[in-house]
Amino acid sequence: MIIVISGPSGVGKGTVVAELLKKDAALVRAITCTTRQPRKDEKDGRDYYFLSEEKFFDLVKKKKLAEFAFVHGNYYGTPIESILQGKDKDVVLQIDTQGAKRIKSLFPEALLIFLLPPSIDALAKRLLKRGTETEEEREKRLERANKEIQERMFYDYIVLNDDLHRASEEIEKIIQYERVLRKKKTR
Ligand code: ADP
Ligand code: 5GP
């Protein structure tokens, strides 16, 4: 199963997905590509494949990306290969709303989950606490957050990330339920 998790920058996608991966050995995270600069604690091939624009568009030209989008001033894209590793596992894609729509059109059975912040104010605080962007970049991300939140109705599930433990447990249950549903359908 392909599981897409979207939500505004700073809502906690990375943190929640890390929790899910710790607890569920049948899940694997798809590493995606970006032209953004790595943050201090990010590693190439672990967090993203960090690429120059030239290398990124080489992949686009060679049709190696299932989707790509321009987000917060940088390009991001999902390698087809990173989705296909999900043959025996369920693959989690942490991508934006444009990417989610594209993945749903390519793989209609994909499970789409939107992670919602308790408020824009809480989101701003989380971004500030993470401390990985300049004030200008944070503003850009917050500006986009409202637009992204408006896209939530497109998703199969909307999960409020008020408390990390509670939200991760809710997503775990959704995944377990969807696994059972999909098994029933293929019988
Ligand atoms: P995203 O991947 O969506 O951009 P991150 O996972 O990097 O967001 O989380 C942004 C910040 O918010 C991090 O500092 C993280 O520790 C914090 N965070 C995540 N979930 C919660 C939560 N439920 N309550 C408070 N802080 C949270
Ligand atoms: P960040 O710079 O905070 O890591 O990510 C910014 C946004 O890009 C987030 O919404 C993230 O989910 C999204 N993103 C990451 N990888 C991809 C991808 O491969 N495709 C698309 N469409 N969005 C992505």
For 22-39, how does the pLDDT look when each residue is reduced to its tens digit (9 = 90+)? 999 999 999 999 999 999
- Ligand 1 centroid–CA 187 distance in Å is 39
Percent of the chain with pLDDT over 90: 94
Query: Looking at residue 2, what is its pLDDT?
Result: 96
Say yes or no to pLDDT of 175 above 70: yes
Handedness of CA 104, 110, 116, 120 (dihedral sign): negative
Query: Can you list the positions of beta strands (E) in the chain?
Result: 2-6, 27-29, 33-34, 49-50, 65-71, 74-79, 90-94, 111-116, 157-160
Say yes or no to pLDDT of 85 above 80: no
Ligand at minimal distance from the CA of 115 is 1
Say yes or no to pLDDT of 185 above 90: no
Per-residue pLDDT, averaged over 84-90, amounts to 80
Distance CA 114, CA 45 (A): 25
- Ligand 1 centroid–CA 43 distance in Å is 19
Q: Does ligand 2 have an atom closer than 6 angstroms to the CB of 168?
A: no
Pocket test for ligand 1, best of 4, 5, 9, 15 (most atoms within 8 A of CB): 15
Q: Does ligand 2 have an atom closer than 6 angstroms to the CB of 144?
A: no
Structural domains present in the chain: 2-186 (3.40.50.300)
Which residues have any ligand 1 atom within 6 Å of their CB?
7, 9-15, 126, 129-130, 161, 163-164
- Ligand 2 centroid–CA 157 distance in Å is 19
Query: Looking at residue 174, what is its pLDDT?
Result: 98
Say yes or no to pLDDT of 86 above 70: no
Query: Looking at residue 84, what is its pLDDT?
Result: 87
Mean pLDDT (the chain, rounded): 95
Per-residue pLDDT, averaged over 146-175, amounts to 97
Query: Looking at residue 184, what is its pLDDT?
Result: 81
Measured CA angle at 119 (ends 149, 168), to 5 deg: 80
Atom of ligand 2 nearest to the CA of 34: 16
Whether residue 140 contacts residue 72, with contact meaning beta carbons closer than 8 Å, is answered with yes
Q: Does ligand 2 have an atom closer than 6 angstroms to the CB of 78?
A: yes
